[in-house]
Amino acid sequence: MQPARVRRTQPARKAAPRPSGRALPARPARNGASRPPARALGSASRGRPPRRTPERQRYVAAGQILGVGLICFALWCFFDARQLYTNAVASPPGTRRTVSMDLLGPIARVEEFFGADRLVDGGNRALGRASTPPSLSQTLPTQPPPAHHPHRGSGVPATGASAVAPGTGVWAASSFDPFATNAAPGPGTGLGVLRRHVTSPFGVTSPPSAGSGSPPSASSTAPSGSGTTPASSGLPPLVTPSPAHPLSVLEIGDSLGVDLGYGLQDVLGQNRAIRLSTKAVIDTGLANVAYYNWPAQLAQLLKTEHPGLVIVMVGGNDTQNFAIGQRAYVFGTPAWRAAYLARVEALMREATSAGAHVAWVGMPQMAPGAPVTSAQMATLDSVYEQAARTVPDVLYVPTWKVLANNKGQYSTFLPNASGSLVAVRDPDGVHIDYPAGDDLVANAIVKALREHWKVQL
């Protein structure tokens, strides 16, 4: 017999007391810790990370990107305007060249006016970069040239330039070779550095000491300001060129010649009757042909360019001593003057013997305290003027008064055609400033050519 099941009953739950309106005492914390907050229900309670709202992506309008690009392009055009303009001038003739020059020319002048090109050149020098437009840069054959003026390159690249071996020259058959030298190859004084004290291989230092001769004062030898009447001509006279029969003009020289080249490009570059070729090279001259042989280089250029007119502006690096054979010639002495005169005449005759007329441009005045002096430039100018009177078909064009003020003195600023003062000389007191100074000298040369040879250029 199975025992009867006893039914268990659950005790009745006590009803929760009704709130009496009094606040209940807080439950004491266990082990001094506060009670943790209640965990929120949802995905977090199931161990899943909370869903994050994605951040809103930022978009830049295409117009803003285009605007920034145009601003960068405008700044680049402004700060490199002169380099771009120089490249445009050196480009082949055509519509592209004409349009580029018309657009970049005014920008380059504004850049020059505010001195922005000097800022760019200073930055390039600080970074060890060349500040010269690529179309005007050239590494000389013997060794890299010394530091030079920021605006000046080594001229349009030229072929056939080489240093001469000691004791050799262009006219080896001559009993007296004015360009023979036994000096070791090296740079000239360099118009960027303009080292006045140049030690010759024989230990003679320039400027000359007392008793060795000194350059005459600027007042006693300053050019008169008018062109020199050349010797009787042996060449057919120049005729006014035309697009069908253009005149080939070759311009050579040192860094002052590079300055002149800029001006000639502005004045004659748009003339379709003129084929202008600027081949000036910085840090060169006639005193140290072991570094750069201008007679040999000119011989090559005469064969390739076939110029009817050669314009020469050289001399700023020639205020130094040189040697011929075993004899040293100290700058400013009568012996130096005679030897240097022979070199100038030889270069003139080289051009005229090839059928080219020659316009030899004199040196301008220098600023007080410049690395080279006006007295030294006056010495050189007197040599050039004397040589032009001796060699036929050569015209000497002085610049002594072209860049001077109304008192005949050196001036950094001169009034332009509208009466506004513009910079015509660089801060170094030696070089000619672009564009006002370069164009001023170029216009003076073209005027002298028109008056003397009765041609329209």
* Residue 18 neighbours by CB under 8 Å, 6+ apart: none
What is the pLDDT, as a whole number, of residue 3?
A: 58
**Best mean pLDDT range from 21-25, 34-38, 45-49, 220-224:** 45-49
Q: Which residues of 123-154 are buried (b: 16+ CB within 10 A; e: fewer)?
A: eeeeeeebbbbebbebebebeebbebbbbbbb
Identify the residue with better confidence: 172 or 322.
322
> Are the beta carbons of 251 and 305 closer than 8 angstroms?
no
Nearest-5° angle of CA 368, CA 370, CA 372? Answer: 110
Taking residues 89-113, report their average pLDDT: 71
Residue 226 confidence (pLDDT) above 50? yes
What is the pLDDT, as a whole number, of residue 106?
A: 77
Q: Is residue 328 helix, strand or coil?
A: strand
* Residue 351 neighbours by CB under 8 Å, 6+ apart: 298, 302, 307, 310, 358
Q: What CATH number belongs to 138-453?
A: 3.40.50.1110
**Best mean pLDDT range from 27-31, 36-40, 163-167, 373-377:** 373-377
**Best mean pLDDT range from 28-42, 59-73, 130-144, 309-323:** 309-323
CA dihedral 260, 388, 405, 409 (to 10 degrees): 110
What is the pLDDT, as a whole number, of residue 304?
A: 96
Q: Is residue 57 helix, strand or coil?
A: coil
What is the pLDDT, as a whole number, of residue 95?
A: 78
The rounded distance, in Å, linking the Cα atoms of 415 and 423 is 9
The rounded distance, in Å, linking the Cα atoms of 332 and 70 is 57
What is the pLDDT, as a whole number, of residue 57?
A: 66
Residue 224 confidence (pLDDT) above 90? no
Secondary structure (DSSP) of 382-428: HHHHHHHHHSBTEEEE--TTTTB-TTS-B-SEEE-TTS-EEE-B-TT
Average pLDDT along the chain: 74
Taking residues 358-368, report their average pLDDT: 97
pLDDT tens, position by position, 325-362: 889 999 999 999 999 999 999 999 999 999 999 999 99
pLDDT tens, position by position, 398-433: 999 999 999 999 999 999 989 899 999 999 999 999
Nearest-5° angle of CA 222, CA 224, CA 229? Answer: 125
Dihedral sign (CA 98, 418, 448, 112): negative
Identify the residue with better confidence: 164 or 320.
320
pLDDT tens, position by position, 128-160: 554 443 333 222 223 333 333 434 544 443 333
So where are the chain's domains? Answer: 64-131, 138-453
361 phi and psi, to 5 degrees?
A: -95, 130
Q: Is residue 47 helix, strand or coil?
A: coil
pLDDT tens, position by position, 284-297: 999 998 889 999 99
> Are the beta carbons of 104 and 81 closer than 8 angstroms?
yes
Structure confidence at residue 110 as a pLDDT band (50, 70, 90): confident
Amino acid identity, position 292: Y
Residue 388 confidence (pLDDT) above 70? yes
Residue 10 confidence (pLDDT) above 80? no
pLDDT tens, position by position, 252-309: 999 999 999 999 999 999 999 999 999 999 999 999 988 899 999 999 999 999 999 9
Listed residue (275, 279, 288, 387) closest to 331, CA to CA = 288
Structure confidence at residue 318 as a pLDDT band (50, 70, 90): very high
What is the pLDDT, as a whole number, of residue 338?
A: 97
Listed residue (167, 215, 213) closest to 366, CA to CA = 215
